[in-house]
Chains A and B, each alone.
Chain A
Amino acid sequence: MEIALIGNPNTGKTSLFNNLTGSYEYVGNWSGVTVEKKVGVFKNHIGRLIDLPGVYSLNPLSKDEGVVTTYFLEEPVDRLLNILDASQLERNLHLTLQLLEYEKPALIGLNMVDVAANRGIQIDTEKLSQILGVPVVPVVARSGKGCDRLIEVISTNSSHSKVKKHVYYGKEVEDAITKLSIELTGKTDHSPRWLAVQLFEENEYVKNYLSNILETAKLESYISDLHSLLIQDNDHVKSLSNYIYLKRKEVIEKILEASVRKVSTVVPLSEKIDAIVTNRYLGMPIFLICMYLMFMLTFDWLGTPLSDVLDGILTGPVTIGVEKLLGAIHASDFIHALIIEGLIAGVGGVLVFVPQIFILFFFISLLEDSGYMARVALVMDRIMESVGLNGKAFIPMMIGFGCNVPGIMAARTIETPRERLMTILLTPLMSCSARLPVYALFVGAFFVGHKALVVLSLYVLGIVVALVLAKIFTKTLLKSETSLFVIELPPYRLPQIQSLWRSTWDKGKGFVRKAGTFIFAGSVFIWLLSYAGPEGLKVDMDNSFLAAIGNLFAPILEPIGFGTWQAAASLITGFLAKEAIISTMNIIYFVPNDASLQGLLSHYYTPLAAYSFMVFILLYIPCLATTATIYKETGSKKWTMFSILYALFIAYVLCLIIYQGGKLVGLV
Chain B
Amino acid sequence: MFGSFKVGDKGKIINISKVGRLVQRRLLDLGITEGSEVCVKCVMPFGGPVMIESCGQCIGIRRKEACLIEVERV
Q: Which residues of A contact B (CB under 8 A)?
A: 56-57, 61, 87-88, 90-91, 94, 119, 238, 242, 245, 270-271, 274-275, 278-281, 283, 374, 377-379, 381-382, 385, 391, 415-416, 482, 484-489, 491
User: A608–B9 Cα gap in the complex (Å)?
Assistant: 54
Contact check, A88 vs B22: say whether CB atoms are below 8 A apart: no
Is there a chain A Cβ closer than 8 Å to B30's Cβ?
yes
Q: Which residues of B contact A (CB under 8 A)?
A: 17, 20, 22-23, 25-31, 33, 41-49, 51, 53, 55-62, 65
Contact check, A485 vs B61: say whether CB atoms are below 8 A apart: yes
A484 partner residues in chain B, CB cutoff 8 A: 20, 22-23, 26
User: A499–B53 Cα gap in the complex (Å)?
Assistant: 29
Identify which of A245, A280, A486, A488 gathers the most chain B CB atoms within 10 Å of its CB. A486
Contacts A379-B44, A484-B23, A489-B60; is A91 near B51 (CB within 8 Å)?
Answer: no
Contact check, A238 vs B60: say whether CB atoms are below 8 A apart: no
Contact check, B62 vs A381: say whether CB atoms are below 8 A apart: yes
Question: What would be 7 A-B contacts, judged by CB atoms less than 8 Å apart?
Answer: A91-B55, A94-B29, A94-B31, A381-B49, A482-B20, A485-B60, A489-B60
- Choose one: A57, A90, A381, A491; the contact of B48 (CB below 8 Å): A381
- Choose one: A91, A271, A378; the contact of B44 (CB below 8 Å): A378
Question: Other than the known A280-B42, A379-B44, A489-B59, what 9 A-B pairs have Cβ atoms closer than 8 Å?
Answer: A56-B30, A88-B57, A271-B53, A374-B60, A378-B60, A382-B48, A482-B20, A485-B61, A486-B23
Contact check, B58 vs A489: say whether CB atoms are below 8 A apart: yes
Contacts A415-B22, A484-B20; is A278 near B61 (CB within 8 Å)?
Answer: no
| B36–chain A nearest beta-carbon distance, Å | 10
Contact check, B42 vs A385: say whether CB atoms are below 8 A apart: no
| B29–chain A nearest beta-carbon distance, Å | 3
Give me the 9 closest cross-chain CB pairs, A-B, nearest first: A56-B29, A382-B48, A91-B31, A489-B58, A378-B60, A486-B26, A487-B60, A484-B22, A381-B49
A488 partner residues in chain B, CB cutoff 8 A: 30, 57-59
User: A382–B17 Cα gap in the complex (Å)?
Assistant: 24
| A282–chain B nearest beta-carbon distance, Å | 10
Contacts A91-B29, A381-B49, A391-B49; is A487 near B62 (CB within 8 Å)?
Answer: no
User: A291–B23 Cα gap in the complex (Å)?
Assistant: 31
User: A482–B49 Cα gap in the complex (Å)?
Assistant: 17
| B16–chain A nearest beta-carbon distance, Å | 10
Contact check, B60 vs A281: say whether CB atoms are below 8 A apart: no
User: A488–B45 Cα gap in the complex (Å)?
Assistant: 19
Contact check, A61 vs B44: say whether CB atoms are below 8 A apart: no
Interface on chain B toward A: helix, strand, loop, or mixed SS? Answer: mixed
Q: Which residue of A lies closest to B29 (CB)?
A: A56
B25 partner residues in chain A, CB cutoff 8 A: 61
User: A91–B32 Cα gap in the complex (Å)?
Assistant: 9
A489 partner residues in chain B, CB cutoff 8 A: 51, 57-60
User: A283–B20 Cα gap in the complex (Å)?
Assistant: 28
Q: Which residue of B lies closest to A283 (CB)?
A: B44
Contact check, A275 vs B42: say whether CB atoms are below 8 A apart: yes
Contacts A61-B26, A90-B55, A91-B30; is A485 near B42 (CB within 8 Å)?
Answer: no
Contacts A381-B62, A488-B59; is A57 near B29 (CB within 8 Å)?
Answer: yes
A87 partner residues in chain B, CB cutoff 8 A: 56
Identify which of B30, B49, B61 gathers the most chain A CB atoms within 10 Å of its CB. B49
| A96–chain B nearest beta-carbon distance, Å | 13
User: A482–B65 Cα gap in the complex (Å)?
Assistant: 12
Q: Which residue of B lies closest to A8 (CB)?
A: B29
| A240–chain B nearest beta-carbon distance, Å | 13
B65 partner residues in chain A, CB cutoff 8 A: 485
Contacts A378-B44, A484-B23, A486-B26; is A274 near B51 (CB within 8 Å)?
Answer: yes
A416 partner residues in chain B, CB cutoff 8 A: 22
B30 partner residues in chain A, CB cutoff 8 A: 56, 91, 486, 488
- Choose one: A242, A281, A378, A482; the contact of B51 (CB below 8 Å): A378
Contact check, B51 vs A485: say whether CB atoms are below 8 A apart: no
Q: Which residue of B lies closest to A92 (CB)?
A: B31
Q: Which residue of A lies closest to B55 (CB)?
A: A90
B27 partner residues in chain A, CB cutoff 8 A: 486
Identify which of B25, B29, B33, B56 gathers the most chain A CB atoms within 10 Å of its CB. B29
User: A30–B60 Cα gap in the complex (Å)?
Assistant: 13
Q: Which residue of B lies closest to A238 (CB)?
A: B17
User: A379–B22 Cα gap in the complex (Å)?
Assistant: 22
Q: Which residue of A lies closest to B64 (CB)?
A: A385
Contact check, A382 vs B31: say whether CB atoms are below 8 A apart: no
Q: Which residue of A lies closest to B26 (CB)?
A: A486
Contact check, B28 vs A280: say whether CB atoms are below 8 A apart: no
| B19–chain A nearest beta-carbon distance, Å | 10
B23 partner residues in chain A, CB cutoff 8 A: 484-486
| B32–chain A nearest beta-carbon distance, Å | 9
| A388–chain B nearest beta-carbon distance, Å | 13
Contact check, B44 vs A415: say whether CB atoms are below 8 A apart: no
Contact check, A274 vs B41: say whether CB atoms are below 8 A apart: yes
B59 partner residues in chain A, CB cutoff 8 A: 486-489
Contacts A485-B62, A486-B60; is A382 near B49 (CB within 8 Å)?
Answer: yes
Contact check, B22 vs A482: say whether CB atoms are below 8 A apart: yes
User: A275–B62 Cα gap in the complex (Å)?
Assistant: 18
Q: Which residue of B lies closest to A486 (CB)?
A: B26
Contact check, B29 vs A382: say whether CB atoms are below 8 A apart: no
- Choose one: B47, B57, B61; the contact of A382 (CB below 8 Å): B47
Contact check, A271 vs B22: say whether CB atoms are below 8 A apart: no
Contacts A88-B56, A489-B58; is A271 near B28 (CB within 8 Å)?
Answer: no
User: A87–B28 Cα gap in the complex (Å)?
Assistant: 18
User: A163–B22 Cα gap in the complex (Å)?
Assistant: 33
A382 partner residues in chain B, CB cutoff 8 A: 44-49
Contact check, A90 vs B31: say whether CB atoms are below 8 A apart: yes
Contacts A88-B57, A90-B31, A381-B49; is A278 near B42 (CB within 8 Å)?
Answer: yes
B51 partner residues in chain A, CB cutoff 8 A: 274, 278, 378, 489
User: A374–B49 Cα gap in the complex (Å)?
Assistant: 13
| B62–chain A nearest beta-carbon distance, Å | 5
| A379–chain B nearest beta-carbon distance, Å | 7
Contacts A278-B51, A378-B49, A486-B30; is A61 near B56 (CB within 8 Å)?
Answer: no
A377 partner residues in chain B, CB cutoff 8 A: 60
